[in-house]
Amino acid sequence: MGSEYVLAFKENRIIVGRLQVLLEEKEVRVIVRSDTLPGYELTYHLDELFVLKADLKKAAPIIDKYKTFINQ
């Protein structure tokens, strides 16, 4: 993945998936990494969402607003 992406959010798959959609709608480049071990189907049901460093300023307010929304 390289150092051009930074971990921005870690949560269950459904919540990360929705945030991914919101960020991609605003043309923020993201990568989602799942904790599932291939071949074993073992998981903690947590995904990590990484944001391109160049897009971090654009992503930060979206992520903050989303965190507030899900914690209501």
CATH of the domain at 18: 3.30.70.1530
**What is the pLDDT confidence band of residue 29, given thresholds at 50, 70 and 90?**
very high
Residue pointed to by tokens 């799942």:
34
DSSP 45: S
What is the rounded average pLDDT of the residues 24-47? 82
Q: Look at the chain and report how many structural domains it folds into.
A: 1
- Looking at residue 72, what is its pLDDT? 85
Q: Which residue has the higher pLDDT, 3 or 17?
A: 17
Please check the confidence at residue 59 and state whether its pLDDT lies above 70: yes
Please check the confidence at residue 48 and state whether its pLDDT lies above 70: yes
17: tokens are 């998936």
The answer for 2, left when phi > 0, alpha when psi is -120 to 50, beta otherwise, is left
Please check the confidence at residue 9 and state whether its pLDDT lies above 70: yes
Which structural domain, as residue segments, surrounds residue 42? 5-70
